[in-house]
Amino acid sequence: MKVVLQRVKEASVEVDQRKVGEIGKGLTLLVGAKNGDTEKDCSYLADKVVNLRIFEDNQGKMNLSALDMKAEILVISQFTLYGDASKGRRPSFTGALEPREAERLYLKFVQLLKEKGLRVKEGIFGAKMLVKIFNWGPVTFILESR
């Protein structure tokens, strides 16, 4: 699995011109699954996301986690994270996990984040979404389970 994590001042997601998720200070996560991913990948990344120390302490150092900050999280499914554009001009998505299993893992990942006690909002799996991200820093990390 892959997560593009962005620290945000605020973020929201709309589907069909209707806001389906919105957060204040916290994290926006773009999440993709690839062939061979399992629930272990979900667990590893959920733990990594909430414990990664990327929020500034009183001295201005990245020393606090999402758990420390009681940060909000917006999770967006994004299969294009496993698009391969190394050959030709059209990306190949053969490495991306098939939709039914990808959705199951996405929902498991969201559930694990919610179990950590943080406010978690999400987009709609497989929908065309308008995602508004106000990156704070900017701070962006790419996390992979393997």
Q: What is the pLDDT of residues 25-46, one digit of tens each?
A: 999 999 999 999 999 999 999 9
Q: How many domains does the chain have?
A: 1
Q: What is the CATH number of the domain that holds 96?
A: 3.50.80.10
Query: Is 55 an active-site residue?
Result: no
> What's the whole-number mean pLDDT along residues 110-126?
97
Cβ-based neighbour number of residue 124 at 10 Å: 14
Check 6, 28, 55, 78 and give the catalytic one: 78
How does residue 146 score in pLDDT terms, banded at 50, 70 and 90? Answer: confident
**Sorting pLDDT into bands at 50, 70 and 90, what band is 89?**
very high
The pLDDT mean for the chain works out to 97
- The pTM (predicted TM-score) of the whole model is 0.96
Give yes or no: 109 in active site. no
Full residue range of the structural domain in which residue 40 is found: 2-144
Q: Is the distance from CB of 54 to CB of 29 less than 8 angstroms?
A: no
Report residue 126 as tokens: 């497989």
- Choosing from 80, 93, 94, 111, the catalytic residue is 80
pLDDT of the residue at 99: 96
38 is catalytic: no
pLDDT of residue 21: 97
Q: Which of 6, 28, 55, 79 is catalytic?
A: 79
